[in-house]
Amino acid sequence: MSRQEIEIIGMLASAVVLVSMLAKTMSYRGTMFMRIINTLGCFIFIYYGLLLPSFASVLMNSIICVVNIVYIIREYRNQHKNKI
């Protein structure tokens, strides 16, 4: 893969994370949207970091993915617990 293609992947990852940060998070749907899109951006950044290679990028985005997944699960459980 060329350097230019790798940089395009990095820009795509940045754009996806930017979209996630623009989401309104005052509601359950908004929070879930933000977390899911942010997780997608992190996965793209992990791929980007592997292509560079950049251990720091892979490590940090892996940690952010785990944090996002934990919060997604927590939000989902809280939302469904409150419906009962």
Give residue limits of the domains in the chain: 3-82
Q: Is 2 helix (H, G, I), strand (E, B) or coil?
A: coil
* pLDDT at position 60 over 90: yes
Question: Between 3-22 and 28-51, two packed helices, what is the crossing angle to 10 degrees?
Answer: 160
**Mean pLDDT taken over the chain:** 93
List, in sequence order, the alpha helices (H) in the chain: 3-22, 28-51, 55-82
pLDDT of 54 > 70? The answer is yes
Judge whether 61 and 45 are in contact, CB under 8 Å: yes
Q: Is the pTM of this model over 0.75?
A: yes
CB proximity list for 11: less than 8 A, separation 6 or greater: none
In the predicted model, what is the mean pLDDT of residues 16-35?
90
Q: What is the pLDDT of residue 84?
A: 58
Identity of the amino acid at 23: A
